[in-house]
Amino acid sequence: MSAQTPWEEEAERWVAWARTPEHDVFEYYAPSFFAEVVPPAVGLTLEIGCGEGRVARALASRGHDVIAVDASPTLVRSARAADAGQAYLVADATELPFAGGAFQCVVAYNSLQTMAELADMAEAVAEAGRVLGPSGCFCMCVAHPMTDVGRASEPTPGGELIITGSYFERERVDETVTKNGLAMTFHGWTHTLEDYARALEDAGFLIRRVREPLPGAEHVSTRAGLDRWRRVPLFLFVRAVKRGP
């Protein structure tokens, strides 16, 4: 996230939100991201936009030696307090304080669409390419571009999916969600699938794997609202590999 991120203002609320069970869908989607997109641990792994640290902790539990960065000092402090075993640093994803080729894997889990400026996404992808070594992997999860088309519309059960607005219009997102007494405002930008593909192409990556994950049918019966995301994708997973010279 950019150094001017509005997420610092939301930091305490995000920590409460992320660490309260059933307040988001991380537990339903993250396991398939780690299983299908993130490669086995080799060398150093960098996470950009680490938030309160749950992705870094999950990577560490899978054997990764992690350095994680976020532009929010409050979120970095929270991540450090929860995990003394990994390194957490305050840093801007568009200007990483690391030498070129220092990492074998870079992970961006739901951080690329949450940056302060529209151009920051492509700049962060370029920085990921710079700090990766030869054949290093860049693994990303983003809100699927389809989720922002018809933001105010819900599909009817078993009926039509309603699309409004323009898929190609890049828009600022400042969306407040309230659940069980907790309120959280999500900041960021809408991007198209082509925006992400071009950013990867321009940064010297080859796309190796693309996934549009579904929540399991067993989860839909126990978690209200998940059935929608078996009709349209909620997330987009990508593994890209740095091209050689």
User: Quick one: 150 exposed, middle or buried, by C-beta within 10 A (0-12, 13-18, 19+)?
Assistant: middle
Which of 37-51, 149-163, 231-245 is least confident? 149-163
**Paired tokens of 200:** 């990867």
- Structure confidence at residue 96 (pLDDT): 98
Using an 8 Å Cβ cutoff, are 224 and 23 in contact? no
CA distance 50 to 52: 6
Using an 8 Å Cβ cutoff, are 182 and 215 in contact? no
CB-side neighbour CA atoms (13 Å) of 57: 13
Written as one string, the DSSP assignment of 157-207 is TTSPPP--S-TT---EEEEEEEETTEEEEEEEE---HHHHHHHHHHTTEEE
Which pTM does this prediction carry? 0.92
Residue 162 clears pLDDT 90, i.e. is over it: no
Residue 108 clears pLDDT 80, i.e. is over it: yes
Using an 8 Å Cβ cutoff, are 220 and 234 in contact? no
**Considering the domain 7-145+191-242, what is its CATH architecture?**
3-Layer(aba) Sandwich (3.40)
Q: What is the mean pLDDT of residues 67-89?
A: 97
- Structure confidence at residue 113 (pLDDT): 95
Q: What is the mean pLDDT of residues 119-132?
A: 98
Q: What is the mean pLDDT of residues 177-196?
A: 92
